[in-house]
């Protein structure tokens, strides 16, 4: 009987904890829904005013942000986080200024909310049109990138959406600091501070329950590694916009300019290692392999980048490490890159489409027909000719910032700016029509 009593107590505590958790999340959801209603009628001038005040507040409180960020970084180092991921987590004055500037840039963008994108008259005299409206409440689950906190707020706020954020435990102190600053600035501006909320509990169970808040969250956006994205896609009952991992390729065609190719590969791989638009895979045409592969090895080796290649690549440069099948589909986020030698552009396209995460792919070529073939046949959100994959970014595309880079094909694809955070509703004008 004593054993049975203990079991009962454990079960009771479990359900009590679960009940408290759901009450906590439902409270956040309810406040977000109320804030979304207020934001829906907030005019463009007021939204821009709020963004300006938040941008200024981030700069004014940068020392507070940096102190909290240092706490997260020290913990990450203690836990053995690799250098490239610490870089994603790290903030400095320049990056905080960039976060602030991103919000100011959003001010300068046209507000899509309220835009009437079509209007037609039916034979019965009804005028039927479509109007852009906010999605409502946007939930974002993301990992150790505190800049996402500010970007997500800015884009959601501009489009009249309330946002619920659930960041990773690695960045919890930084995220709390940023959200605290944003909420204070909104309150001082007389704007609903619940336009942004952070789930401070970083337990996995909380994230899982967040994925089931259909009553409050209209869309859920995961942003992070493959494990996180897979978990959200598999477990969420809230509609998901999938932002994919980045196994991005650069294909060096037989008609490539070598200097251009080396500069692009160097930039795409090494400018920032821990980002989804970094190049993780090289494909090189066999006709230029003997001359080009030693050059790319020398260039990347100078940056301590390890190349893992197939037997043909190793036959050309014996300092290249052997690649496994797993390497060709890997998002390393590290000083490692795969290399495959092919005999045709058709083989290159087949290889890329098979291993691609459908994020960003680039061809280096001076042949127009090969460039167009690559554009037409590569299945990815962004396809480049003679440019680095690192440009797949909301700011670089003129969106001010991005909520993520969608690799799916429904609703939104590629860098998600303001338009991706809106939907439409039909608006109908009549003068007494009835259906017979």
Pick the CATH number of 248-396 from 1.20.1440.230, 3.40.309.10, 3.30.499.10, 3.40.47.10: 3.40.309.10
What's the pLDDT score for residue 17? 53
> Strands 414-415 and 405-406, how do they pair?
antiparallel
pLDDT, position 10: 44
Q: Give the integer Cα–Cα distance in Å for 266 and 335.
A: 11
Q: How far apart are CA 241 and CA 40, in angstroms?
A: 22
Mean pLDDT of successive 10-residue segments in the chain (436 residues)? 50 52 92 96 94 97 97 94 87 95 92 94 97 97 88 95 95 97 96 97 90 95 84 91 89 98 98 92 98 97 97 96 95 95 98 96 98 97 97 86 83 90 96 93
Architecture of domain 2-243+416-427 in this structure: 3-Layer(aba) Sandwich (3.40)
| Intervals of CATH 3.40.309.10 along the chain | 248-396
Amino acid 345: pLDDT: 98
CB-based contacts of 176, cutoff 8 Å, min separation 6: 68, 198, 200
Looking from the CA of 413 toward its CB, the CA atoms found within 13 Å total 13
Q: 93 phi and psi, to 5 degrees?
A: -55, -40
Residue range(s) in the chain whose domain bears CATH number 3.40.605.10: 2-243+416-427
Residues β-bridged to residue 348? none
Residue 251's nearest CA partner among 290, 292, 282 is 282
């Amino acid at each position: 009987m004593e054993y049975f009593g203990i079991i009962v107590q454990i079960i009771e505590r479990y359900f009590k904890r679960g009940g408290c958790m759901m009450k906590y999340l439902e409270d956040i959801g309810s406040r977000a829904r109320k804030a979304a209603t207020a934001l829906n009628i907030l005019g463009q001038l007021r939204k821009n005013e709020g963004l300006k005040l938040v941008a200024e507040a981030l700069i004014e409180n940068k020392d507070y942000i940096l102190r909290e960020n240092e706490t997260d970084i020290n913990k990450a180092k203690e836990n053995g986080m690799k250098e490239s991921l610490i870089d994603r987590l790290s903030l400095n004055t320049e990056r905080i200024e960039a976060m602030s500037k991103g919000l100011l840039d959003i001010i300068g963008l046209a507000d899509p909310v309220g835009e009437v994108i079509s209007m037609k008259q039916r034979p019965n005299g009804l005028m039927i049109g479509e109007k852009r409206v906010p999605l409502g409440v946007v939930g974002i689950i993301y990992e150790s990138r505190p800049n996402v906190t500010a970007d997500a707020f800015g884009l959601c706020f501009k489009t009249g959406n309330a946002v619920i954020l659930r960041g990773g435990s690695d960045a919890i102190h930084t995220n709390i600091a940023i959200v605290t600053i944003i909420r204070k600035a909104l309150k001082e501006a007389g704007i609903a501070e619940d336009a942004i909320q952070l789930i401070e509990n970083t337990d996995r169970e909380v994230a899982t329950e967040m994925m089931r808040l259909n009553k409050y969250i209209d869309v859920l956006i995961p942003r992070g590694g493959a494990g996180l994205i897979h978990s959200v896609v598999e477990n969420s009952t809230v509609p998901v916009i999938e932002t994919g991992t980045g196994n991005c390729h650069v294909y060096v065609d037989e008609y490539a300019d070598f200097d251009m190719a080396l500069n692009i590969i160097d930039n795409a791989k090494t400018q920032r290692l821990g980002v989804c638009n970094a190049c993780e895979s090289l494909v090189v045409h066999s006709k230029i392999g003997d001359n080009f592969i030693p050059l790319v090895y020398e260039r990347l080796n100078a940056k301590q980048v390890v190349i893992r290649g197939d037997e043909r690549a190793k036959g050309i440069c014996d300092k290249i490490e052997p690649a496994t099948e797993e390497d060709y589909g890997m998002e390393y986020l590290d000083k490692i890159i795969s290399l495959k030698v092919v005999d045709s552009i058709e083989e290159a396209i087949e290889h890329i489409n098979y291993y691609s995460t459908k994020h960003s792919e680039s061809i280096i070529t001076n042949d127009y027909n090969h460039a167009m073939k690559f554009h037409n046949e590569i299945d990815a959100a962004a396809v480049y000719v003679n440019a680095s994959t690192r440009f797949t970014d909301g700011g670089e595309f003129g969106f001010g910032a991005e909520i993520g880079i969608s690799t799916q094909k429904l609703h939104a694809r590629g860098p998600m700016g303001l338009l991706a955070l809106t939907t439409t509703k039909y608006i109908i004008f009549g003068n007494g029509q009835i259906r017979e």
